[in-house]
């Protein structure tokens, strides 16, 4: 059901023109880029055109959103076969393993990643 909802949303995209940064309200008409209300990598279909200034695009999309989508949702996106808009899908994912009181950071191949 959830997978079908994502696919339906992505297929029925809508574009709304904003004309200013939704984060700082700057009206820099040369540098505004689009924003997805739900990230494209999660099947988001609602696009806000001219809605993010260069500063916030870097800060939010490349700094925060990319990390969340790759590290937290990456295995799920692969498992339910959501599209990879930039074709940058990872094959390994970072994990932290605990043995007693000791933690170890490592990477796990997608085919071995625990999804349950």
Q: pLDDT (tens digit, 9 = 90+) per residue, 20-71?
A: 999 999 887 678 999 988 887 787 788 999 999 988 888 887 778 877 887 7
Cβ neighbours of residue 24 closer than 8 Å, sequence gap 6 or more: 53, 55, 56
What is the share, in percent, of the chain residues with pLDDT greater than 70? Answer: 78
Residues in the chain: 116
Determine contact, residues 22/48, Cβ cutoff 8 Å. Answer: yes
The confidence score (pLDDT) of residue 22 equals 93
Mean pLDDT, the chain, integer: 78
Extents of the domains making up the chain:
2-112
The confidence score (pLDDT) of residue 3 equals 43
The confidence score (pLDDT) of residue 64 equals 81
The confidence score (pLDDT) of residue 5 equals 45
**What is the pTM assigned to this prediction?**
0.59
């Amino acid at each position: 059901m959830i997978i079908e909802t994502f696919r339906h949303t992505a297929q029925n995209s809508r574009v709304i023109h904003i004309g200013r940064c939704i984060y700082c309200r700057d009206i820099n008409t040369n540098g505004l880029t689009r924003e997805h209300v739900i990230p494209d990598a999660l099947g988001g279909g609602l696009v806000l055109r001219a809605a993010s200034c260069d500063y916030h695009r870097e800060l939010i999309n490349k700094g925060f959103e990319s990390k969340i989508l790759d590290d937290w949702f990456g295995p799920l996106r692969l498992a339910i076969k959501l599209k990879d808009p930039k074709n940058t899908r990872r094959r390994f994912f970072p994990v932290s393993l605990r043995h007693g009181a000791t933690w170890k950071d490592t990477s796990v191949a997608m085919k071995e990643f625990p999804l349950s």
